[in-house]
Every structure is written in C-alpha cells, then in structure tokens.
Amino acid sequence: MFAELGEAGIGVVVRNEKGEVMASLAKKLPILESVEMLEALAVRRAVIFSAELGLHQVVIEGDSEIVFKALSSRCLERSSIGHIIKD
C-alpha cells in the first residue's frame, strides 16, 4: 500500500503448469478499510481475468488466510468482505 498517495495496488500473474508466466496485470485502487478487502478484490479480479483469458480451471493463490477461509466456507460471509466473496 502507498498510504502517502492514498493508493494500493493489486497484481495477478497467470502461469501454466510449468510455472511459466503466460499473462499478468496490475491495478491501482484507492486505499481500502482493510488488507483483507484488498486481497478479496485481488482474488475477484484474478477470477475475472482468468475468464477473460478463457481459462476454466485455475488455482488461485494468496497470502490472506481470512480471505481464503471465507472463499472455501459454505456459509454466507457476513464480514466486511462478504459482498466481495459472494460476487
């Protein structure tokens, strides 16, 4: 995050089964209320980017345990990232 600029950044890297980079993107966002919200938006953008590339079987990786637990949960997430998870 770049607090002095009021911005944060997300990045997505698409690799093939050999680990070779096939595509990537980066996006600036306004600073959000939590790192978890930023990570959830990054995951959502990764899913959208994968669909835009025509990829149907993907593995999403990230470093927010909270976000990935919410994604794998069967119950509706009621936290500040719930609306993003539902998306």
Please indicate, yes or no, whether the overall pTM of this predicted structure exceeds 0.85: no
pLDDT tens per residue, range 39-81? 888 899 999 999 999 998 898 888 888 887 887 776 655 677 7
How far lies 4's CA from each of 1, 47, 60, 81, in Å? 9, 29, 30, 24
Q: What's the pLDDT at 76? A: 57
Provide the terminal-to-terminal Cα distance of the chain, rounded to the nearest Å. Answer: 24
Mean pLDDT of the chain: 84
Cβ neighbors of 86 (< 8 A, separation 6 or more) are 76, 77
> Which range scores top for mean pLDDT: 7-11, 22-26, 60-64, 68-72?
22-26
Q: Is 9 in contact with 3 (CB distance < 8 Å)?
A: no
Q: What's the pLDDT at 77? A: 59
The DSSP H or E segment spanning 24 is strand 21-30
Question: DSSP character for 8?
Answer: E
Q: What's the pLDDT at 2? A: 58
